[in-house]
């Protein structure tokens, strides 16, 4: 049971949180639409990069491809090696510095069967890379990602408050009613409410997972800050590893430690992404569920001994589960089409909300609020029927 004044307060919260985030949400929805089909678009744009079935363990040693990349870029530092899931490719990443943000970066892609280089756009240069950067952080890096996470949080608040005020205003109408008689704004008001309540569950999921994705960098930094110092105590003041094992040896050590998992990426020793004494090997399961959950393995860069092999903490696990829910890329093309339909419906909800506000006239919502407040005023004078029920 909500009083009229509480309904007014929830409506104002819904209106202003929506207005603050609407522009950025429109950017997210418009860029999210092609990102839902990023696999299909990438294959259309660069069909040569998906020329065969994926492979778990390349028949050619990884170190041969690492050596080829070093020979092509002798002044760059090795960062990582990843094994593609959708094609028989091995990616070798290099940079001028020790971090992923170091520029310029170089990504060399090799055929896993032949070891020959494969032509591909560099990181951040392809059309879909630019769309993703705009979607995630407005080309503003980590500050932009955190800002978009704040906008996603405001979106979740606006959805919750909108759901609370939906009942009082629509309780006398059949569900799905869109009144075509009367002012045009009344028609858009009904359409805004209908699309909003129909897509509510989906938008709550996408909004909440958007908040989680925006926090990925701080969450990984939190994990590293809690796990790595304890691990490095035994090394004391020992200098960084110099005569390091090969990427193949690091991958083999991880497979021995976690035989039920498959290796997807190997990060070379560095003080930012791993440690100066360890390879960080990423592994994941083979089932539909465990394939979304990664387990990191830290391998001593000099001895090849496994120093740590345990799952991420719960907050990283939550992030890993949220990612496929955000883009709908875990159920094939049919699920992607459903995600796209809901995305378009959300764009219409946002656009209709802007239209209702820009017109600058007293809307049916505000008239109804005034009526509810008046009813509550009568109740305080002894007149009954002063409460409304929010469904």
Distance CA 214, CA 224 (A): 17
Average pLDDT over residues 133-148: 90
Asked if residues 5 and 373 have their Cβ atoms less than 8 Å apart, the reply is yes
Asked if residues 87 and 51 have their Cβ atoms less than 8 Å apart, the reply is yes
Q: How many other C-beta atoms are found inside a 10 Å radius of the C-beta of residue 23? A: 12
Please tell me the predicted confidence (pLDDT) of residue 280.
Answer: 93
65 — pLDDT class (breaks 50, 70, 90): very high
Average pLDDT over residues 122-127: 68
Residue 130 structure tokens: 């630019």
Which DSSP string do the residues of 107-173 spell out, in sequence order?
Answer: EEEEETTT--EE--PPTTTSHHHHHHHHHHHTT-HHHHHHHHHHHHHHHHHHHHHHHHHHHHHHTTS
Average pLDDT over residues 142-168: 88
Please tell me the predicted confidence (pLDDT) of residue 360.
Answer: 60
Distance CA 204, CA 213 (A): 14
Per-residue pLDDT tens over the stretch 79-99 = 999 998 877 889 999 888 765
Query: For 267, left (φ over 0), alpha (ψ -120 to 50), or beta?
Result: beta
Distance CA 346, CA 85 (A): 31
Average the pLDDT over each of 128-137, 350-359, 376-385 and give the range with the smallest value.
376-385
Strands 117-118, 278-284: parallel, antiparallel or unpaired by DSSP? unpaired
Per-residue pLDDT tens over the stretch 34-43 = 998 887 887 7
Asked if residues 128 and 42 have their Cβ atoms less than 8 Å apart, the reply is yes
Asked if residues 55 and 83 have their Cβ atoms less than 8 Å apart, the reply is yes
Eight-state DSSP code of residue 245: P
Which DSSP string do the residues of 84-117 spell out, in sequence order?
Answer: -SSSSEEEEEEESSSSTT-SSEEEEEEETTT--E
Q: Is 348 helix (H, G, I), strand (E, B) or coil?
A: helix
Distance CA 308, CA 380 (A): 67
The mean of the pLDDT values for the chain is: 81
Average the pLDDT over each of 125-139, 195-209, 291-305 and give the range with the smallest value.
125-139
Using the predicted structure, report yes or no on whether residue 249 has a pLDDT greater than 80.
Answer: yes
Per-residue pLDDT tens over the stretch 252-282 = 999 999 999 999 999 999 888 888 899 999 9
Asked if residues 263 and 283 have their Cβ atoms less than 8 Å apart, the reply is yes
Cβ partners under 8 Å of residue 268, min gap 6 = 78, 79, 80, 81, 244, 247, 274, 279
């Amino acid at each position: 049971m909500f009083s009229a004044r509480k309904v007014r307060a929830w409506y104002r919260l819904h209106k202003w949180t929506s207005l603050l985030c609407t522009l950025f949400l429109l950017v997210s929805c418009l860029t999210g639409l092609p990102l839902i089909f990023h696999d299909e678009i990438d294959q259309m744009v660069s069909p040569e990069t998906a020329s065969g079935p994926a492979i778990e363990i390349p028949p050619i040693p990884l170190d041969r491809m690492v050596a080829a990349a070093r020979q092509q870029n002798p002044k760059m530092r090795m960062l990582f090696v990843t094994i593609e899931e959708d094609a028989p490719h091995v990616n070798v990443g290099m940079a001028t510095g020790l971090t992923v943000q170091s520029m310029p970066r170089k990504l060399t892609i090799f055929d896993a069967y032949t070891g020959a280089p494969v032509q591909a756009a560099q990181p951040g240069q392809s059309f879909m890379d630019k769309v993703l950067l705009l979607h995630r952080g407005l080309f503003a890096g980590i500050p932009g990602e955190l800002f978009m996470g704040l906008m996603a949080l405001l979106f979740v608040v606006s959805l919750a408050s909108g759901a609370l005020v939906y009942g009082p205003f629509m309780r006398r109408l059949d569900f799905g009613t869109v009144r075509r008689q009367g002012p045009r704004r009344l028609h858009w008001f009904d359409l805004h409410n209908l699309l909003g309540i129909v897509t509510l569950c989906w938008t709550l999921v996408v909004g909440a997972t958007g908040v989680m994705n925006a926090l990925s960098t701080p969450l990984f930094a939190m994990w590293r800050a809690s796990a790595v110092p304890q691990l490095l105590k035994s090394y004391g003041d020992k200098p960084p590893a110099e005569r390091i094992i090969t990427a193949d040896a690091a991958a083999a050590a991880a497979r021995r430690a976690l035989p039920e998992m498959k290796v997807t990426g190997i990060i070379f020793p560095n003080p930012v992404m791993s440690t100066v004494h360890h390879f960080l090997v990423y592994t994941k399961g083979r089932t539909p569920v465990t394939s979304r959950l990664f387990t990191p393995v830290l391998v001593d860069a000099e001895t090849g001994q496994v120093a740590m092999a345990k799952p991420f903490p719960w907050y990283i696990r939550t992030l890993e589960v949220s990612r496929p829910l955000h883009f709908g890329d875990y159920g094939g093309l049919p699920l992607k089409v459903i995600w796209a339909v809901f995305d378009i419906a959300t764009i219409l909800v946002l656009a209709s909300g802007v239209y209702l506000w820009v017109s600058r006239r007293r809307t049916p919502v505000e008239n109804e609020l005034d009526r509810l407040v008046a009813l509550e005023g009568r109740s305080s004078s002894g007149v009954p029927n002063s409460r409304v029920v929010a469904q």
